[in-house]
Structure 1
Amino acid sequence: MFLNPYERLIARRYLWPGKGEGIIAVVVGFALMGVMLGVAALVVVMSVMNGFRAELFDKTTALNGHAVIQGYDGKLPDWRRIVEVAQKTQGVTSAVPLIEQPLMASAAGRVEGVLLRGMREQEIQGKQIGGNVVAGDIKMVAPGAGTVALGARLAEQLGVGIGGDISLISPAGQTTPFGTVPRIVSYRVAAVFEVGIYDYDNAFVVMPIADAQTLLMMGDAVGMVEVQTVNADRVEQILKPVAAAAKGVAEVRDWRQMNASLFEALQVERVTMFIVLSIIIVVAAFNILSSLIMLVRAKTRDIAILRTVGADRSSMVRIFVTVGLTIGALGTIGGLILAAIFLYYRQGVVNFVQLVTGQNLWDPQIRFLTELPSRTDPVEVLSIVVMTMVMSLLFTLYPALRAARTDPVQVLRYE
C-alpha cells in the first residue's frame, strides 16, 4: 500500500494516541499482544507437532525400515532370495535380514517382557544402535561372544549394568513327556543404548543374528527382511515386485500399516490444534477492530478537518488500513521472535516448569520420545503470517471505511 508523505505522517501519529487517549493505547497494546501471542502459540505448537511426527517417523523407520517382509509363523527360510529380489528392485536402498521375537528376561531376581532383536554385526554397530550407546562397548556384541546390548530403560527395570548377566527365556525349548521345557540361556551385558523412543529403550535386547537363531532354534531362517526405500510415501508402489516374489511365504507390511493408528492420531491432533489456536488470532483481530473503531471516534474532528483541506476518502482508508496492518505486522514479528526463543529453549522451559510444579509434563512412557522435539516448516510459518495479515486487513476495513464516510459538514457545523 503506497502512501504519500502526509498520509505516512498521520498514520505514524495515530499509531500512538495522544494525551487523553490512554484507553485507546491500552486497547491497541492488547491487540498487538494478542496477535503476538497467537502467532507464537501457532508456530510453537505446529513446530512441536511436526517435530514429534518427524522424530517418530525417523526413529521408527530407522529401526523397522520403511517396510518389512515378514515370514508366516515368524520364520522366513527363503530370506536370501527375498533379499536378492529386493536389492534388485528399483527404489530400494537396502534390504537386511532381521529377527524380532518377544521373550521373557530375568536378572537379579527381576523378570520383564522383552523384545529380542537379532541383527547383523554391521547393523548393530550402525548409527541407530551403535551411535546411541550410553555405556559399555557395542563392539563386544559379536557372534559367539555370548553378549547382548540392552535398552537403557530396560537395564534400569532389570537392575543390571555392564558386565552383569541376563537370562533370556524362550518358549521354544525341548519337548519332554511332560510338555515343552522353556529354553533359558544366560548372556553378559556388553552395552546399554538409548535410541530416544521409550518403547524401544524399555524393551529391546539386541544380539547378533546368528546367536538369535541359535537361541530360538530357527536354523538358518530369519523372522523378516527390513527394507529401506528412496521414498517412504511411495513404498507400496516400489515394493510391488517384492510382494509378488514373496507371495505365499511372507507378507509385506509398510510403515503406515505398522504405525497407522499413531500417525493418524497425530495428524488429527495437528489439524485440531491449528484450528483451535487460530481462534486466538481471530480474537486479536477483533481487538484491532475495536481499537480502530475507538480511534476513529476519537479522531472524528481531525478526520473532518483533513477532509475539509482536501484529503479524499481513499486517503482516509489508506491511513487507517495502514494503522491496522502495522499493528498486525508488529504483532506477527514479535510472535515469530517469541516462538523462536521458546523453541530454542523448549526443553529448558519444560524442565523449569516441571521443577516449579513438581509434575512430570513430559513422561516418555506416554509421549514415546524422551525429549520435546521441534521441526519448523517454513511453508507453515508463511501460511500463519499470511493468515494473520489477511485477518488484520479484513478487520481493519470496517473502521477505515467508517472514517472515509465521515461528513465534515456535520462534524464541524458548530465549530
Structure 2
Amino acid sequence: MIRPFELFVGLRYTRARKRSHFISIISLISILGITLGITALITTLSVMNGFGKELRGRILGVISHVTVTETTGQLHDWRATAERIRDPRVTGRAPYIAGQGMVTRGKSVSGVMVRGILPSEEMQVSEFGSRLIEGKLDALKPGEFGVVIGSALAWKLDLSVGSPVSLVIPQALVTPAGLMPRFKRFTVVGIFKMDMYEYDSGLVLMHLDDAARLYQMGDEVSGLRLKLDNLDAAPAVADELATGLGPNYLARDWTREHGNFFRALKIEKTVMFVILLLIVTVAMFNVVSTLVVVVTEKRADIAILRTLGASPRSIMGIFLAHGSVVGVAGTLVGTLCGVLLALNVEPIVHGIERLFSTSFIAADVYFISELPSDLHWSDVLLVSGCSLVLGLLSALYPAWRASKVQPAEALRYE
C-alpha cells in the first residue's frame, strides 16, 4: 500500500468506476483545459521573448548603442572626440552624417533617411557589411557618389547594382528661375537586407565625404556612433561620457531612442501572461466542480472511513491528493507540450504557410516577417508554479467540505 494513507486513497478515487464515468470525463476535460492553457501560455511567452530579442538585435544592428554629438547638433572634430573616449566598454567608433531626402527614378519616388558613413569604421558599429546581398560596402568611394540601398527600396524602384538613381534633398538652390530643390545623381553600388522593412525600404548609405558635400556640412559630422561590449550598459556609459566630455557634448543611448518600444513590449508580455493565466484559472474551476461532485458521491465512503478512525484532517488530505493529481497531470502534460511547441514554432509556422501558400506576417506591415521563439526556462518555471498553486487552491474547498461530512447523517439512508 502506498504511504501515506491519504495519498493511497486519493489515488484510488482517481480511477474510473462503473458508476463514475461522468466524473472521469469531467476530470479528463479539466486536465485538457489545464494542458491547453499552459501550452498556450508557454508558447505565447516564448514568441514574445523571440520578438523582443529579434527586434532588439535587428534594430541595434542599424542604430548605435550610444551616440555622441555636440549641443549644436553637429560634431566639429570627430577624430579628437573619438580619441577622448577611452572607456574599455566601447569596442567600436564611427562618424556619421544624417539627413533626409527622396529617391527618384522615373515616375517612382520614395522618401528615405540618408546616412553618410566611412565604410571601414562603420563595420565596427553595425551589421551592414555582413548583410549585403549584392555589392560591397567598400565600394563606397569618396567623390564617386555611390549609394548602398535596402532590398525593399531596390525592389520598389526596380534598382540593381549599377543602376543610376537621383536623390533630392530638402535644401533650396537659388537659380535665375527661383528656388529649386537640390538633387544629385548617384549610382547603386550595393544592396543590403536587414530583414526589417523599416530599414530595407527607407535607408540609404553613402560615403561620409559625399554626404558632407551634399548637405554642405564641411568638415563637420552629425555625431559619433559607439558600439559597446554589453548593450545593457549603454545608459551608464552614456551618462559617464556626457559628464566626462563636458557640457558642450550630448550622449544618447539606444534606450532613449527606442526604450518606449521595448517597455511597451514588456508590458504587453505581462498582460498576455495575465490573460492567458485566466484560461488555466477557468480550467481549475472545472477541477472544483469535479471534486464537489466526487465528495457528494463519496459521502458514504467518507462516513465509513470516519467510523474506522480517520480524522477530518485525513479526509481532507485524501481529497487534496485527489484534486492535486488533476492539477499536476495537466501541468506536466501542458509544460511538456508547451516546451516542445515553443522550440518548434518557426518550422511549424513555415510548414503551415507552405501548405496553404500564405504568409501570416506581412513584411510591409510588421517589423519582422518571421515568427521567432525564445524559450526562457524561468517562464516555464513561473507558469508551472502558478498552475500547481492554482491546482492546490482549487482542491481546498471540496476537501474542506469532505472533512465536514458527519458519519451518522451520511449513513442514515444507506
Shorter chain as normaliser: what TM range? 0.7 to 0.9
* C-alpha distance in 1 between matches for 2:376 and 2:105: 45
Find out whether 1:103 has 2:101 as its counterpart. yes
- Deviation string 1:246-294 (CA, Å, 9 cap, x unpaired) is 5565432222321243233223322222222221111111111111111
- Deviation string 1:49-95 (CA, Å, 9 cap, x unpaired) is 22222222222223212221234565322222322223x13543333
Find out whether 1:380 has 2:379 as its counterpart. yes
Alignment of 1:4-43 (within 5 A): 4=3, 6-43=5-42
Q: CA deviation at 1:199?
A: 0.8
Contact 1:171 1:181 in 2 (8 A): no
Q: CA deviation at 1:391?
A: 0.9
The worse-fitting range, judged by mean Cα deviation, of 298-307 and 24-33 is: 298-307
RMSD over aligned CA atoms reads 2.9
| Pair 103,250 (structure 1): closer, same or farther in 2 beyond 3 Å | farther
* C-alpha distance in 2 between matches for 1:222 and 1:237: 24
Unpaired runs of 5+ residues, structure 2, are none
* C-alpha distance in 1 between matches for 2:48 and 2:192: 26
Q: CA deviation at 1:410?
A: 2.7
Find out whether 1:278 has 2:277 as its counterpart. yes
| Pair 319,378 (structure 1): closer, same or farther in 2 beyond 3 Å | same
- Deviation string 1:82-129 (CA, Å, 9 cap, x unpaired) is 22223x135433332122211111124311111112222235556621
Q: CA deviation at 1:328?
A: 1.5
* C-alpha distance in 2 between matches for 1:386 and 1:401: 23
Determine helix, strand or coil for the equivalent of 2:33: helix
* TM-score under structure 2 length normalisation: 0.88
| Pair 314,113 (structure 1): closer, same or farther in 2 beyond 3 Å | same
Q: CA deviation at 1:295?
A: 1.6
Q: CA deviation at 1:143?
A: 4.4
Contact 1:69 1:252 in 2 (8 A): yes
Q: Which residue of 2 aligns with 1:404?
A: 403
What is the number of residues matched between the two proteins? 412
Q: Which residue of 2 aligns with 1:333?
A: 332
Q: Which amino acid aligns with 1:211?
A: D
Q: Which amino acid aligns with 1:69?
A: V
Q: Percent identity of the aligned residues? A: 32
* C-alpha distance in 2 between matches for 1:248 and 1:167: 40
Contact 2:346 2:373 in 1 (8 A): no
The worse-fitting range, judged by mean Cα deviation, of 89-98 and 215-224 is: 89-98
- Deviation string 1:349-377 (CA, Å, 9 cap, x unpaired) is 54566678898642334431222222222
* C-alpha distance in 1 between matches for 2:60 and 2:72: 23
Q: Which residue of 2 aligns with 1:321?
A: 320
Q: Which residue of 2 aligns with 1:118?
A: 116
* C-alpha distance in 2 between matches for 1:135 and 1:295: 70
* C-alpha distance in 1 between matches for 2:70 and 2:113: 17
* TM-score under structure 1 length normalisation: 0.88
The worse-fitting range, judged by mean Cα deviation, of 22-31 and 127-136 is: 127-136
Alignment of 1:179-258 (within 5 A): 181-244=180-243, 249-258=248-257
* C-alpha distance in 1 between matches for 2:81 and 2:98: 17
The worse-fitting range, judged by mean Cα deviation, of 69-78 and 351-360 is: 351-360
Contact 1:67 1:253 in 2 (8 A): yes
